Structure 1
Amino acid sequence: MELNLDSEVLAAYGYTKENTKITQIGTGLINRTYLLSPKTEEKKYILQNINTSVFKSPQAIANNLRAIADYLSLTSPEYLFIKPVYTKNGDEMAHIKQEYWRMLPFVSNTISLDVLADPKQAYEAAKQFGKLSRLLDKFDAKTLEPTIPGFHDLKLRYEQFTLTLNQANEKLKETAKAQVENALSHKYILDYYLSYLHRADFPDRVMHHDTKISNVLLDEKTNEGICVIDLDTIMPGKFISDLGDMMRTYLCAFSENETDLDKINIRLPYFEAMIKGYLAEMKSILTPTEKELILFSGKYIIYMQALRFLTDFLSGNQYYPTDYPAQNLDRCKNQFKLLHELSVNGKELQDIIEENLL
């Protein structure tokens, strides 16, 4: 198909439409992504347009990645950290017609998955996210800039929910009545988190913040983890952001768009594999408080996502793309069912955690 890619973007990196094969790739909803195959080189590249409606300060992304890349080049030079390719002018991004673009090296002989099909994949992915955090354990997270301020701030998300609820259309509130009650009754998750927030051994770390399976590259033959990708959301955060997001997206065979709630169940082999992979890297650096909150991390992120879907429904579906008017409400129901499953299986899940902390 004909791709609407400005020739000035290619020129910034020394290429033209004539000497480059261009293919749009990826299933992400945020950034437009292309595979560039220069006809005069064996190397391939990923070219991405940065969505400035989501990432309002693209320079913050560039600054963060440069600082981390510099640190890892000194402390862990063998680690494959995907850093941007410079433009011909030596810039980390190309700024063309009010849009920001960046180019990254393409890693050959790897795959990224949209759906988990085997617990080994969950193990390898969790291990890769844990490895990046471990390698950055001594890096000063406070030097990084938040690329999406408040992204995993449950207090902020709860405040947004209550404000929207007070202003919402009465018909929408009535339609969502059961889920509103569900949201209010689970506020204890926020209160529990806040009771830990200022503990000295609950540090800010360098977190990826978007640990879905598609953000890890696996060896195409062995499924061994190679590296973490899609690094726009790397910023300071609590460890629960990454581990909790893995629980939210790895443990059920169906996504938040599934409306048959009977299908929303926890896959114990995937949970065990994920915990083993993550703790294989992180067990040595997690503090006592962090170890105490491992299972809670899933509750935190799942509750937060339920609140976000519900808030969006009550505000008229302004943020998440929808295929029908009640989809965000259905997504909210889905997440509360997943939260319920995490709770009712709590003892068995905690036993798995304890075994892997030994």
Structure 2
Amino acid sequence: MDKVLAGYGLREDQCSIASFGSGLINHTWVLCNGDEQFILQKVNQNVFRQPEAIAWNIALIDTYLKNRGNGYFFVSPVKTVSGDAMLHIEGDGYYRMFPFVKGSHSIDVVEEPQQAYEAAKQFGRFTRTLSGISVDSLKITLPSFHDLSLRYEQFLEALEQGNPQRIAETASVIHALKTHSTIVDQFREIRKDPDFKQRVTHHDTKISNVLFDKQNKGLCVIDLDTVMPGYFISDVGDMMRTYLCPVSEEERDFSRILVREDYYNAIMRGYLEEMQGELTVTEKKHFFYAGLFMIYMQALRFMTDHLNDDQYYGAKYEGHNFVRAQNQLTLLERLLEKRTILEG
């Protein structure tokens, strides 16, 4: 850590460092240096193979916002002593540091519709504010991250090459997943439709990636590792997947899985307040589809991993990813049951 601190012009004997947050990908600390507080992160290179791409995108966004001067609140990275946005320690990895926003807080679980509204508004504002950036200038930090066609192909491949016993034991769920493959067909049509636009998209819109102020109003979005060109269905769909249901993807009692209509309406209201003028008529008609898209993709990914003996997500107990896949399949079915109400 002394090399990391030196890279930012700090001394270990003058700083206190403690683990921070509940993120599962990058290791995060809160760092105190006198009256100053910072968030320090080590980038997980098992997930992000090209950390320089993350640094490029954040620097591009930072420069764009500073030049536009539109008052958007953005947490700019702290520069290293060499003036870089990210610090590379040979043989150790990549680090980045941000000032801690005083008076701010984040939450891990959506507990009321107003929180869903505030978060959706912030993710919508993020994309709208950056609408002047050419998406071609952004680098891809996670190739094919939300490519539903690829995820379905990987699922089919797992049915051919995966664990034969697990395939046999889960036949009914495999069949159920196949019956929803029209969601993939719709995605393929979207990719060919000029009315669907690639925009600066966050791709990881869980509630913990929004900072709130003391009055619980949204301040800004954080954790920009997955910012890349993308479709609006990625951000809206991930909010639906993680905000609509009162229990998480880890829940084993599927009777507790339900879709809360007031949370759906809060997401729609918050996002469209910012993006109403940006989205095309065709895109708006696919607002409900966004939830199907993301929930189905995650169900496929969990099932694929189960059939491949838990190589990607790992498992804390036998059948962990199969439980997660059934959980997401149940959520998908609960959402489909409310289609007429929510689309009306």
Band the TM-score falls in, shorter-chain normalisation: over 0.9
Contact 1:265–1:338, Cα closer than 8 Å, also in 2: yes
Which among 23, 26, 44 is matched to residue 28 of structure 1?
A: 23
| Structure 2 residue 19 is matched with structure 1 residue 7 | no
1:246 shift after superposition: 0.2
1:129 matched to which residue of 2? 123
The equivalent position to 1:93 in structure 2, one of 54, 66, 86, is 86
Instruction: Determine if contact 1:299/1:342 at 8 Å carries over to the other structure.
Output: yes
CA contact (8 A) 2:206 2:238 kept: yes
> Does residue 56 of structure 1 match 2:22?
no
- In structure 2, distance between residues paired with 1:86 and 1:159: 42
Moved more, 262-271 or 248-257: 262-271
Q: Give 1:45's aligned residue.
A: 38
Task: Determine if contact 2:244/2:264 at 8 Å carries over to the other structure.
Answer: yes
Q: Size of the alignment, in residue pairs? A: 343
Contact between 1:317 and 1:325, CA under 8 Å: does it hold in 2?
A: no
Among 265, 269, 273, the residue aligned to 1:280: 273
In 2, Cα distance between equivalents of 1:109 and 1:263: 35
Could you tell me how far 1:319 is from its partner in structure 2?
A: 1.4
Q: Which amino acid aligns with 1:91?
A: D
Shift of 1:321: 3.6
Between 276-285 and 188-197, report the one with greater CA deviation. Answer: 188-197
Q: Do the aligned partners of 1:265 and 1:341 also contact (CA within 8 Å) in 2?
A: yes
Deviation string 1:52-109 (CA, Å, 9 cap, x unpaired) is: 1100000000111111111111224411122211111111111112300001111111
Q: How much does 1:174 deviate? A: 1.3
SS of 1:103 mapped into structure 2:
strand
**CA distance in 1: counterparts of 2:172 and 2:166, whole angstroms:** 12
Structure 1 residue aligned with 2:75: 82
Question: Superposition pairs for residues 282-301 of structure 1, below 5 Å?
Answer: 282-301=275-294
Q: Note if 1:168 corresponds to 2:146.
A: no
- Counterpart Cα distance in 1 of 2:303 and 2:277: 38
For each residue in 1:166-193, what CA deviation from the matched residue of structure 2 results, as whole angstroms up to 9, or x when unmatched? 1012111012211211221111100012
1:3 paired residue number: none
Q: Which residue of 2 aligns with 1:356?
A: none
Structure 1: distance between partners of 2:190 and 2:58: 30
Structure 1 CA distance for aligned equivalents of residues 44 and 301 of structure 2: 20
Is 1:311 aligned to residue 304 of structure 2? yes
The partner residue of 1:338 within 312, 321, 331 is 331
Which residue identity does 2:274 align to in structure 1? E
Letter in 1 for 2:13: E
TM-score, normalised with respect to structure 1: 0.94
Distance 1:170 1:198 in 2: 36
Gaps of 5+ in 1: 1-5, 352-358
Q: Provide the C-alpha distance between the structure 2 equivalents of 1:65 and 1:210, rounded to a whole number of angstroms.
A: 15
SS at structure 1 position matched to 2:36: coil
Name which of structure 1's ranges 329-338 and 16-25 shifts more when overlaid on structure 2: 16-25
Q: Aligned partners of 1:98 and 1:144: how far apart in 2? A: 26
> Structure 2: how far apart are the matches of 1:160 and 1:122?
32
Q: Is the 8 A contact 2:149 2:187 kept in 1?
A: no
The residue type paired with residue 25 of structure 2 is I
The one-letter amino acid of 1:43's match is E
Unaligned runs of 5+ in 2: none
Does structure 2 conserve the Cα–Cα contact (< 8 Å) formed by 1:20 and 1:37?
yes
RMSD in angstroms over aligned alpha carbons?
Answer: 1.0
Does residue 18 (structure 1) correspond to residue 6 (structure 2)? The answer is no
Alignment match, 2:230: 237
Pick closer, same or farther for the CA change 1:265–1:76 going to 2, 3 Å.
farther
Q: Structure 1 stretches (4+) deviating beyond 4 angstroms?
A: none
Rounded to whole Å, the distance in 2 between the matches of 1:169 and 1:344 is: 32
Indicate if the aligned counterparts of 2:20 and 2:29 stay in contact, CA closer than 8 A: yes
How many Å apart are 1:322 and its aligned residue? 2.2
- Per-residue displacement from partner, 1:264-303 (whole Å, max 9, x unpaired)? 0011111111111111101111101111110000000000
The 10-residue stretch of structure 1 (265-274 or 226-235) with the greater mean CA deviation from structure 2? 265-274
Counterpart amino acid of residue 95 in structure 1? H
Question: 1:142 pairs with 128, 131, 136, which one?
Answer: 136
Aligned runs of 1:248-259 on 2, under 5 Å? 248-259=241-252
Local SS of the residue matching 1:89: coil
Quick one: distance in 2 between partners of 1:178 and 1:313? 14
Counterparts of 2:321 and 2:22, CA distance in 1: 20
